[in-house]
Amino acid sequence: MDVRTAGGDGPRVVWIHGLGEAARCFDRIVAHPQLAACAHQLVDLPGYGRSPWGAVDSIDATIDRLCRWLRGGPPAIVVGHSLGGVIATLCGERAPGPVRAVVDVEGNGSLGDCTFSSQVATYREDDFASHGRDALWASLDASDPALRGYAAAIGFCDPRQMWRHAVDLVELSRGEQLAARRAALAVPLTFIAGAPRGICARSRALLFEAGVPIVDVGPAGHWPFIDAPDAFADAVAAAIADKA
């Protein structure tokens, strides 16, 4: 993994990006006045961003790798977006000591949230590596700032790693157990959703049934830290203040 630091000497906040992305997507939000005093660590998962390509990790193996790394520092508030939100939640489940709290941003809850992962998972691994990633890249709307950044990131990630994570994420979402696992965490969790264009209605219902409150940030879609940065920073700052 490649890890960059930013900010000040406040609480340790670890940021985990989504499928196909890199930690650069968080650069502007961690510099927001509401968050700039925190000790931020921005992680490029293996195969993404500046991290080297190598053996392809399952989501489970990625969580193990992150938990080992988290144990090397003070307890952290882990903020994850999309796939990163699922990983952050499951790190909190597996390592409640090193993870003091989780901020899950638009993490998957059901198949309706698998907008890109379901497209990736329709390919065989070799096909996605040879041409599927390029097809996904070409389909993205470059007029949307969030999708423009997403296109830039997936152009540099390891397509085999992206494919493996996508297949695993679809299976986790299909099981519809992630809301209950969020509710059962031994550490505090804040779930932030983009509104009105974020997580799907089925995932909202599952979170409600499990008793997981949703903090809506908007107007926003799947990337609320890009679409509504001030409201998003307020929500994360409140979660940090509550858990720090």
Domains of the chain: 2-243 (3.40.50.1820)
Whether the model pTM is above 0.75: yes
pLDDT surpassing 90 at residue 63: yes
**∠ CA 78-41-18, rounded to 5°:** 60
Predicted confidence at residue 242, as pLDDT, reads 78
pLDDT in tens, 12-55: 999 999 999 999 999 999 999 999 999 999 999 999 999 999 99
Return the percentage of the chain with pLDDT > 90, whole number. 98
How many H-runs (helices) and E-runs (strands) does the chain carry? Answer: 12, 7
Average pLDDT over residues 94-117: 97
**pLDDT tens-place string over residues 192-215:** 999 999 999 999 999 999 999 999
Q: How far apart are alpha carbons 17 and 63 in whole angstroms?
A: 13
